[in-house]
Structure 1
Amino acid sequence: MAFTLPELPYDTSALEPHIDAQTMSTHHGKHHQAYINNLNNALSEHSQLHGLSITELMRKLGELPESIRTAVRNNGGGHANHAMFWTIMGPNGGGAPTGAVAEAITSAFGDFETFKTKFNEAGTKQFGSGWVFVTADQSGKLELVAKPNQDTPLSDGKAVLMGNDVWEHAYYLKYQNRRPDYLAAWWNTVNWNAVNERLQAIKNGQLI
């Protein structure tokens, strides 16, 4: 079964003024769709892989036929990363984290402001295109990980709790070359309830 573009759980204008509607529309409908199209094309002649979820596919990256490994790494990673990205944002987001996520952040980083600073620094320092992720294990321990291009911690056997896209297509229409401004504003879109749901799923043994 071919991968398909997940619908946004909110309107393209819902994250304004922090992320503008045009960026959301292009990012979701054009960029994410292109990753899915390219991934499906790469997998089209490999029916033995068609039953795998995107998480399973990225975790098995090193086992894939060499002829499609790079395409799956780039485009499968693009699909996995963006599918996560849309779900952890939402209208009326932001503020301080709550629940188990707040406790995990305090445990790993000391406090939320320190966590945000380290996260934003990692995003600013990521050369070229890439992502900043927070991974979690089943005990709830968090780790900050930066990855180039569309690489994903899933391929390292880690579960992704949350992350931010620092490719220019994620912010250039509104912020131009001011990536630090985008990173700072992005926190106003984070849906902490959704992040808490992801943490609970990870603790339950689900790689999402």
Structure 2
Amino acid sequence: MPLELPALPYDRTALEPHLSGETLDQHHGHHQRALIERVNALTAGTELDEAPLEAIVRKAQGELFDHAAQAWNNAFYWHSLRPSAAGGSGPKGALGEAVTRDFGDVDTLRARFNAVALRQFGAGWVWLVQRPDGRLGIVATANAATPLTGDDTPLLAVSLWEHAAYPDYRDNRPRYLEAFWQLVSWDSVAARLR
């Protein structure tokens, strides 16, 4: 059975005013849909044509990896965010303790994360990850690369692809990052801790 584009976990306008419905239409409805369609075309008739997306990412190489990993990264990104109206605060519980232990506080985490995102050249992702030893770290990946294929557990991601922010922020990555932090779902991040 071919993969289907997963539905957004909220309405297309739920992230406004930080990310517009137009941006979600382009990013999810157009780009992510095209990625899924290409994965389906590349896996048709192969041993991976019935595999879930995560398994395809872990086994694929070349063009199939690029499309599958980017589709997985995008789905992960949407589940890292929460609707603007949901409100929210910083990390609590075990996640809050880990942030304090490894960064000092959430403001320092944000500053370090943003610094990595602002240094990243071109398209890619910045991730908050949990290392195998339990400590938290920040990594940048270019293009479709993902921590899913390594030893780190991805906890939070921001897309640095142009279509993730251009309709709303043009080339102003600092403003996009400020908007991103207004939408982070700390509950989703906490649920990913090992």
TM-score between the two structures when normalised by the length of structure 1:
0.86
Work out whether residues 74 and 151 of structure 1, in 8 Å CA contact, stay in contact via their aligned partners in 2: yes
> Structure 1 residues 157 and 57 mapped into 2: Cα distance closer, same or farther (>3 Å)?
farther
1:183 maps to a residue whose letter is L
Q: Pick one of 159, 183, 187 that aligns with 2:181.
A: 187
* Separation in structure 2 between the aligned mates of residue 81 and residue 120 of structure 1, nearest angstrom: 19
Q: Which ranges in structure 1 are unaligned for 5 or more consecutive residues? A: 62-68, 204-208
Note if 1:59 corresponds to 2:58.
Answer: yes
Return the offset for 1:96.
Answer: 1.5
Residue number in structure 2 paired with 1:49: 48
Return the offset for 1:51.
Answer: 4.1
Work out whether residues 88 and 191 of structure 1, in 8 Å CA contact, stay in contact via their aligned partners in 2: yes
Alignment of 1:17-36 (within 5 A): 17-36=17-36
Q: Pick one of 152, 155, 167 that aligns with 2:149.
A: 155
- Kindly tell me the number of residue pairs found equivalent between the two proteins: 192
Alignment of 1:194-205 (within 5 A): 194-199=188-193, 203=194
Note if 1:95 corresponds to 2:89.
Answer: yes
Residue number in structure 2 paired with 1:108: 102
Report the aligned-residue RMSD.
Answer: 1.6
Q: Which ranges in structure 2 are unaligned for 5 or more consecutive residues? A: none
> Structure 1 residues 23 and 183 mapped into 2: Cα distance closer, same or farther (>3 Å)?
same
* Separation in structure 2 between the aligned mates of residue 84 and residue 93 of structure 1, nearest angstrom: 20
1:106-152: CA deviations, max 9, x gaps? 12212111110111111111101010011224654212110011111
Note if 1:77 corresponds to 2:62.
Answer: no
